[in-house]
A and B are shown apart, each in its own frame.
Chain A
Amino acid sequence: MTSKQLPHEPYNIIITGVGGQGNVMASRILANMLVKKGYYITIGESFGASQRGGSVMSHIRISERSNWSPQIPKGRAHAVIALEPTEGIRILKDYGNPNVILLLNTRPIYPVAVIAGEIEYPGLDEIKNSARDLASKVWFIGASDEAIKLGNPILGNIIMLGALSGVSDLPLENEDFKEVILSTIPPDQLDINLKAYDIGKRKVGLPL
């Protein structure tokens, strides 16, 4: 039933961000696209902190054989989608390795200590350098900015999924996306979501 062989068995993806960015929705969409292709998918998440300013991450295991642990072992992420820049680095600290690929949304969400003026948020260039240092390939995407242009910041997560489809070997075609998204959102939102997915796909040229 599976159409392509996975680059790794299981293939491990982490989607990370700050509560409220649509982390959970993105992981569900991605997972459901792949379940339809006959893969075993395991998702590990913790909610609770999500609405109240904390970091969130979804661990997604894609396997041809079975379900796996909902937590990816240390150093074994194959792809990381970071909806927030510093969260991307935070994930690489525990789950990164020299071969990981990283898609990084460049728009910061400031923690309370930063907006209270107590600590400084690192400069984007610093973060980009670290990202290049810690990943084998990295793409910097202004997903939130594009989403705001479309009229809804939360579409950033869809754009990032589109970007993943553009860079990875996983079967993540537009038709699969369309089928899954229709069961998630009201029909009048379909076009804008498809547009967002497409923008993501086109935003990934050569890795930097």
Chain B
Amino acid sequence: MPHLIESGEGAQYLLMGNEAIARGALEAGVKVVTGYPGTPSSDIVERLAKVAIKMNLYVEWSTNEKVAMEVAAAGSLSGVRSMCVMKQNGVNVASDFLLHLAGSGTRAGMVLVPCDDPGALSSANEGESRYFARLFEIPLLEPGDFQEAKDMTRWAFELSESIRNPVTLRSVTRMSHASGNVTFGDIPSEDVHAEFQCNGFMLDPMQGPALSMPVIYRHTEQQKKIKKAREIFENCPFNTYRGPDKPELLIITSSACSLYSREAIRILGVENTVGLLKLGTTWPLPPKLVKRYLSKTDKILIVEEVLPFLEESVKILAAESAYEIGIKRFYGKNDGIIPSVGELNPDLVAEALAQILAIDYQPVSDEYAEKAQRLATLQVPPRELTFCPGCPHRASFWSIHNALQLDGRKGFVCGDIGCYSLAMLPCGFNTLKTLHSMGSGAGLASGFGKLGSFGFTQPVLAVCGDSTFFHAAIPALINAVHHKSNFTLVVLDNGGTAMTGFQPHPGLEINALGEEVPSVDIAEVCKAMGAKVEIRDPFDLEGTRETLNQLIEDKHGLKVLILRQICALSPEKRAGKQYEMTIDEQLCLGDRCGCNRWCTRIFRCPGLVWDQQKRVTRIDDVICTGCGICADICPEGAIKRQEVA
């Protein structure tokens, strides 16, 4: 693994896109780095947190993206370069502040880095962050490869300072989590002095107060900044062209799609007929540059993920300048030649090219393809996602599911974002019945809990993780208490932000740098709100289930049950097994009446394996983490646990 700060100018390393961005920020002299964990963005903050003490950086995992952006803005306003990192929908959370920050402007360079997830490889949506650039009038940059990820990040800070506005640098999963060769630049060694100068003339952008008002004035200034950026973009080295002087077809693309497009051109062997305009500055578009290339041909294909953002910008420009450059034939998402959902890859681009240019594209012979498909269908079993062995969520949802079945009034659970989102699948007994954004489980529950006057009788539950609690659930809970909404919140407290890599959050006594810090107690916060609060260990299955049934039957307002048990992937748990698990095969009923594979088929922990031959369960010692709770579910007492010395 390359150490981000150990090498100087000229050294070449294999870096992940996120590492390249982190290095670029260091080379720009960034000092304040904030964010909220979100795949595929988290590594940027993690890498910088690792070197923070050595490099005198302030790195923070903020409570949520809105606060993260505000904290970063404070750095910029005090003359210190700052960066704010999040996944695509994090920008939605921060957007109100971002709107106003674009109005007030920034001072030292501030770069916002959203990492989008086309195809939703690790998200509950494939939303776009790029539109905020147009919506809030903020320049948008998109690196097209790993070297650019570093170089553009570095440059973004300069751009931000030259227009005194935040700049967005947008990455995608296939850039952030992919790796490529990067040559390092130098890291400056400069002292910084932070001071918020705010006593100057009200409209002074560097020394006056930071205000988004007077609005019309600020907005006018903002648009001047965009105009300046546009001019800078005309000569930006990150907008590149490769291909013939007069291509038959011009591809306009950005981000990882430029790599797919380049590959597609090569696969089809059409380097001499297809030109590739890769834009690094995708909003505002530099009109002269784009028109120059639009003039080269009549056929233009636009390749991007996910929505036709670039396509629309280019089409607007083309329409406005049709009298100059002629009428163009466009291909892209709107006509369906590029899929309008999901991520792209070289094959999809190659298929589009093949269709436009009327040439054949066949990756392998029909015979091979048919054979491979047939054999794979017969032999390759699907791999469902599951909770890790020893995961407290399996225990929690076991109890929640069973409590609701015993209650019998068609109760349901509003879900939220985290590892426990998997509870919509069999591993969590299909318990979650809604799943939207961070904190929305509690919000929906607050609403469901008020429908009693319309004949609503179903018990309402919501779940959220310990990190999600702080991020977004609190306002919904206060709403519920104040409006006397009747529901039960189950906080699944596993001691960290697990799904994204076990980052810390305000409920822990440790921060991004590993320093000891005060924590905020979830139970106390809920009590202060006026909720009824109980705390249980989810590994106590019957106790948890009984408590849940009691809370569900209570008709009065908000109840909070905190299920506290540390994540199986945490360092303490991974250190060793608590129990050694064995099966007494004489007692195991297996698939007979009285059990019918209760532990393997229903409970479904990967450590419990059904032995087809012997028709009993066995423990997979390699996978089993020794949490011991399966011993409590066996109806025959066939699962034995022995404490490890």
Residues of A with Cβ closer than 8 Å to B?
Answer: 18, 28, 31-32, 35, 40-49, 51-55, 67-76, 86-87, 89-90, 92-93, 96-98, 110-122, 126-127, 130, 133-134, 153, 183-184
CA distance A153 to B622 in the complex (A): 9
Say whether B46 faces chain A, with CB atoms less than 8 Å apart: no
* B543 beta carbon closer than 8 Å to chain A: no
The answer to whether A43 and B386 touch (CB under 8 A), given A90-B376, A126-B379, is no
B620 to chain A, nearest CB (A): 8
State the CA gap A114–B604 with chains docked (Å): 10
B251 contacts A by Cβ under 8 Å: no
> B380 an interface residue at 8 Å Cβ cutoff?
yes
Contact of A98 with B368 at beta-carbon distance under 8 Å, contacts A76-B363, A86-B381, A89-B380 already known: yes
* Complex interface: chain A residues within 8 A of B267 (CB): 73, 76
**Chain B: CB-nearest residue to A92:** B372
Contact A69 B177 (CB under 8 A): no
Q: How far is the CA of A40 from the CA of B182 in the complex (A)?
A: 9
Task: Take A69-B262, A70-B259, A97-B364 as given contacts and tell me if A51 and B569 are in contact as well, using a CB distance cutoff of 8 Å.
Answer: yes
- In the bound complex, how far is the Cα of B368 from the Cα of A33, in angstroms? 33
Contact present for B375 and A112 (CB under 8 Å): no
In the bound assembly, the distance between CA atoms of A22 and B173 in angstroms comes to 20
Contact A52 B601 (CB under 8 A): no
What residues on B are CB-neighbors of A184 within 8 Å?
1
Contacting B380 at CB < 8 Å: which of A43, A44, A93? A93
CA distance A63 to B345 in the complex (A): 19
**What residues of chain A lie closer than 8 Å to B488, measured between beta carbons?**
none
Contact bitstring B322-364, A, C-beta under 8 A = 1, else 0: 0000000000000000000000011100100000000000011
A53–B13 CA distance with the chains assembled, in angstroms: 31
Task: Assess the A52–B386 pair: CB atoms within 8 A.
Answer: yes
In the bound assembly, the distance between CA atoms of A122 and B146 in angstroms comes to 41
Given A68-B262, A115-B606, A184-B1, 16 more A-B residue pairs with CB atoms under 8 Å apart are A31-B179, A35-B13, A41-B179, A42-B259, A43-B14, A51-B388, A51-B569, A69-B260, A70-B175, A71-B260, A73-B346, A92-B372, A97-B368, A98-B368, A112-B604, A153-B622
Q: Are A53 and B383 in contact (CB under 8 A)?
A: yes
Question: What would 25 A/B residue contacts be, using CB atoms closer than 8 Å?
Answer: A31-B179, A35-B13, A40-B181, A43-B178, A45-B177, A46-B122, A49-B121, A51-B569, A52-B387, A54-B385, A69-B260, A70-B175, A70-B180, A72-B346, A74-B347, A75-B363, A76-B363, A93-B373, A98-B365, A112-B426, A114-B381, A115-B606, A115-B609, A116-B601, A130-B375
Find the residue from A71, A72, A115, A121 having the highest chain B CB count within 10 A: A115
Q: How far is it, in angstroms, between the C-alpha of A116 and the C-alpha of B383 when the chains are bound? A: 12
CB 8 Å contact bits of B241-265 with A (1 = contact, 0 = none): 0000000000000001001101110
- Select A73's contact among B122, B256, B345, beta carbons within 8 Å: B345
Contact assessment for A73 and B347 in the assembled complex, using a CB-CB cutoff below 8 Å: yes
Distance of A183 Cα from B2 Cα, bound (Å): 8
Is the CB–CB distance between B263 and A134 below 8 Å? no
Category for how many chain B residues contact A: 35 or more
Q: Is the CB of B372 within 8 A of A69?
A: no
B223 contacts which chain A residues (CB < 8 A)? Answer: none
Given A47-B177, A93-B372, A73 contacting B381 (CB threshold 8 A): no
Residue in A74, A113, A127 with the greatest tally of chain B CB atoms within 10 Å: A74
Q: Of B39, B180, B372, B388, which contacts A67 at CB under 8 A?
A: B180
Query: From residue 169 to 205 of chain B, which have CB atoms closer than 8 A to chain A?
Result: 173-175, 177-181
Inter-chain contact A69/B345, CB cutoff 8 Å: yes
Q: Do A111 and B381 touch (CB < 8 A)?
A: yes
* Residues A46 and B371 in contact, CB atoms below 8 Å apart: no
Q: How far is the CB of A166 from chain B (nearest CB, A)?
A: 23
**Taking the nearest CB of chain A, how far is it from the CB of B465, in angstroms?**
15
Assuming the A-B contacts A73-B346, A76-B363, A92-B372, are A68 and B382 also in contact, with contact meaning beta carbons closer than 8 angstroms in the complex?
no
B160 within 8 A of A: no
Inter-subunit contact A70/B376 (CB<8 Å) = no
* CB < 8 Å neighbour of A47 from B122, B386, B601: B122
Task: Tell me whether B597 and A117 are in contact (CB under 8 A).
Answer: yes
Inter-subunit contact B608/A122 (CB<8 Å): no
Question: For A31, what are the chain B residues with a Cβ–Cβ distance below 8 Å?
Answer: 14, 179
- Any chain A CB within 8 A of the CB of B490? no
Give bound CA distance, A183 to B7, whole Å: 14
Q: Is B600 touching A115 in the complex (CB atoms < 8 A)?
A: yes
The residue on A at minimum CB distance from B17 is A70
Q: Are A67 and B259 in contact (CB under 8 A)?
A: yes
Residues of chain B lying within 8 A (CB to CB) of residue A35: 12-14, 181
Q: Which residues of A contact B346 (CB under 8 A)?
A: 69, 71-73
Give A71 to B612 CA distance when docked, in angstroms: 39
Chain B residues, CB < 8 A from A112:
383-384, 386, 426-427, 604, 606
| Contact indicator A70/B600 (Cβ below 8 Å) | no
By a CB distance below 8 angstroms, the chain A residues around B345 are 69, 71, 73
Are A73 and B263 in touch, CB under 8 angstroms?
yes
Residues of chain A with a CB closer than 8 A to B537's CB: none
Would you give the 0/1 interface string for B376-407, flagging 1 where the beta carbon is closer than 8 Å to chain A? Answer: 10111111111110000000000000000000
B70 on interface, CB distance cutoff 8 Å: no
Q: Is the CB of A53 within 8 A of B384?
A: yes
Specify which of B14, B601, B610 is in contact with A32 (CB 8 Å cutoff): B14
B632 within 8 Å of A (CB atoms) = no
Known: A53-B383, A98-B368, A115-B608. A41 touches B39 (CB 8 A): no
- Expressed in whole angstroms, the Cα–Cα distance for A74 and B267 within the complex equals 11
Given contacts A68-B262, A69-B262, A89-B379, contact A48 B122 (CB under 8 A): yes
Tell me if B60 counts as interface (CB < 8 A to partner A).
no
Q: Nearest-CB distance from B10 to chain A (Å)?
A: 14
- When chains A and B are docked, how far (Å) is the Cα of A115 from the Cα of B427? 13
Task: Please measure, in the bound complex, the distance between the C-alpha atom of A134 and the C-alpha atom of B393, giving whole angstroms.
Answer: 41
Task: Judge whether A52 and B422 touch: CB under 8 Å.
Answer: yes
Residue of A nearest to B346 (CB): A73
- Shortest CB-to-CB span from B306 to chain A, Å, is 16
